[in-house]
Chain A
Amino acid sequence: MNSLTTYLFIAAALFVIGVFGLLQRRSLIGMLIAIELMLNGASVNFMAFNRFLAPDPIIGQVYTLFIMGFAAAETIIALSIIIAVFRRIHSINIEQARNLRG
């Protein structure tokens, strides 16, 4: 159980769940959460490779820390965009934000 493949499967599952959520959810908040899931899937991959294939130096862990920081920043920006969209169309449903359709 404690092998690389297990962690890769977990990571892939997380990532695919994220992708699915991103595509399926119509609420902006839901999409944001899905993106977090995808990021976490990537982080799990980094950690797993760091642990099993390249333990020294611990670049994988550093990367994961960066991803977490980046995710926090990204969330802030995304939330502010969501607020701006909400102020404009009084909804966070993405189906309402289709002004640019051809």
Chain B
Amino acid sequence: MTVNLAWTQDPNLLAAALSALTPFAAFALIMLFARPHARLSAGISIAAVGVSLAGAVFLLVRNWSLPAPIQITGRWLISGDIIIPFGFLLDPLSLLMLTIVATISCLVQVYSLGYMAGDPGFSRYFGFQSLFAWAMLTLTISPTMIQLYIFWELVGLASYFLIGFWYEKFSASEAGKKAFVMTRLGDIAFFLGLLVVLIHFGNLNILDMNGPQATERLSPVLLTVSALLIFGGVMGKSAQFPLLTWLPDAMEGPTPVSALLHSATMVAAGVYMFARIFPFFSHSANAMTVCLSIGTITMLLSSTMAMVTRDIKQVWAYSTISQLGFMVMGLAAGGYAAGVFHLTTHAGFKALLFLCSGVFIHHYETNDMFVIGRHGGRGLLIPMVCMSLAAAALSGLPPFSGFFSKEAIMGVLAGQHNPIWLAAGLLGAFLTAYYSFRLIFIILRPNPTERVHAETPGGHGNGHHAAGLYWVMAWPLIILAAVTLVLGFFQDPLEAFLARLQTVSGSHGAGHHAWLPIAAVSLALAGTGLAWLEFGRKGAAQMGFVERIPALRALFANRWYLDHVYRRFLDYVIYGTFSNLFTRNDRRVIDGAIDGMCRATIGSGRLLSFVQSGMLQYNLMVMFAALALVALGFYLLG
């Protein structure tokens, strides 16, 4: 990689390189040298991500009013006409995302000091955290889709390591595998899409793909095909329908990992990529409609799943899927700023939700919200308050950050011709409020008469409840809660910042519907009220309206039987048909052919060995006879 620039002279490049590469250095250091020293590893990792955060904030502040995207690349690979550069692209979107990722990673790592204390894999954990941070930070500032794809896969790898972190647990290693394989399904489509673009467009530079050249050089059909294929990657990574079932299983990892995975890194990568080449997508109206419908289905489906689960982390997992669907809806409806803004606010409050749940899980060593409530979960004041704040933000109640970003997306949806999208969005808002406050009320107002259920296996058995650790875990919560409180009021500057360099025809801002915020808030309040009625009020049965209908409950609790469908598909189509056929092919055709060749060789060898009588004279005789015949032939014919 050659950079034709005195790179120490350029503060932008220096900061970008520092913030992107320090976590990798930390990862290497921890894995190579610091593994036996737990505290040293944690120190290295947190220091590295701190450097990244400083670099990201420096870049964001310095380039707040940058005139044009800064792109610094060096040639990495040349093959014929195709040049693949490596480097950095700094524009409002990547700067914003860089800051989000660095902030969340830093807070999560500090929090992990408390959560993971005493775990035998402490150093390994921080090593993987650094790897994760490196992959995600570099992904955000990729100037080309190839580089983005490489780090996209690295993010997947790191999340595989972290989800299956407690690999001794069978379910954890299975969940890691599931996450890896299911996202890989989407990635295949993503890669094919990139190839289509590369072959027909000749270039994977993000700025070029977003420019007007895309429509000139790609026919509308090709544009739609490639956009849909690339969207396949988003579907896998951001757990959109139908590839959404890996995400709830990914809860097997440590809770801080879930927080990181769900807010700023793994799943956000999908939506980020969507936003990254948003102008490219917006060239194809058909692709956008498909994306919009997939986002809508995802949002509604996962909201219903969240309504019946008892596992505190699962609720937030489903809500993540639903909010990601919401972001995809916003983006696909043309609301670039709205979608990205929701991504930003969601990163904050979702990390907060998970980290708060982590405190409960760590303290009570169970994931079951009913058990937490019965054991007096509301006694943990800071997590309880923070979680309520975050749930309010998630439900879109003013004045929390989620309210502003949801309103923005609703506004965009209202701008669509078909009112069904807006109706779906409003229904989603209602369901979100309902399931969020269901959880809050269950913990806040435990029902003493509730039967003791078998406790869901969860938590990990380290019983360190020292006060110091509690505060290590509480501080990130307080910071994130503050962010959740104030971030909503930065909507206008952020949107102006994002729109600064974005010249997209399809991107229109929020519609002007005065009734819309009122409708959305009243629906969210209705959801909250329903939750209060069923779970919060005195003497409530703590039984949701869904749970009264067994069929519906079973449907939701089994994730609409999606996993069963996959299982069936695997059993019948893959194992039953293809695998079986391939096995037979292996045994009969390939093995048979090889064995047959061996037998034929041996047999012919046996046969030919009669020639080797050991009597040279016989051989000579044959030779002379042949020569004589040849001579005779020449004599007669010549």
Contact = CB atoms under 8 A, between A and B. Distances in A.
A57 B609 CA distance: 50
Contacts of B620: 22-23
A94 B617 CA distance: 9
Contacts of B613: 98, 101-102
Interface string A13-30: 000000100110000000
A97 B613 CA distance: 11
Interface in B596-638: 608-617, 620-621, 624
Contact of A98 (B608, B611, B614, B621): B614
A99 interface: yes
Interface string A55-82: 0000000000000000000000000000
A100 interface: yes
Interface in A21-65: 22-23, 31
A83 B620 CA distance: 22
Interface in A85-102: 94-95, 97-102
A100 B624 contact: no
A98 B621 CA distance: 17
Contacts of A97: 614
Given A19-B624, A23-B621, A23-B624, A94 B609 contact: no
Q: How large is the interface on B (under 10, 10 to 19, 20 to 34, 35 or more residues)?
A: 10 to 19
Contacts of A101: 612-615
A94 B615 contact: yes
Nearest to B612: A102
Contacts of B617: 22-23, 31, 94
Nearest to B625: A23
B113 to A, nearest CB: 77
Interface hub of A94, A95, A99, A102 (most chain B Cβ within 10 A) = A102
Contacts of A102: 608-614
Contact of A99 (B608, B609, B614, B616): B614
Nearest to A25: B617
Contacts of B612: 100-102
B533 to A, nearest CB: 96
A98 B615 contact: yes
Contacts of B611: 102
A101 B615 CA distance: 8
Interface hub of A97, A100, A101 (most chain B Cβ within 10 A) = A101
A94 B615 CA distance: 8
Nearest to B605: A102
A5 B616 CA distance: 33
A95 B621 contact: no
Contacts of B616: 94
A35 B620 CA distance: 12
B609 A95 contact: no
A86 to B, nearest CB: 17
Contacts of B624: 19, 23
Nearest to A98: B614
Contacts of A100: 612, 614
Nearest to B621: A23
A95 B621 CA distance: 15
A101 B608 CA distance: 11
Nearest to A100: B614
Contacts of B610: 102
A88 to B, nearest CB: 15
A72 B610 CA distance: 36
Interface string B131-174: 00000000000000000000000000000000000000000000
Given A23-B621, A98-B615, A102-B611, 18 more contacts: A23-B624, A31-B617, A94-B615, A94-B616, A95-B615, A97-B614, A98-B613, A98-B614, A100-B612, A101-B612, A101-B613, A101-B614, A102-B608, A102-B609, A102-B610, A102-B612, A102-B613, A102-B614
15 contacts: A19-B624, A22-B620, A23-B617, A23-B621, A23-B624, A31-B617, A95-B615, A98-B614, A99-B614, A100-B612, A101-B612, A101-B613, A102-B609, A102-B611, A102-B612
The 5 closest A-B pairs by CB, nearest first: A101-B614, A102-B609, A98-B614, A102-B612, A23-B621
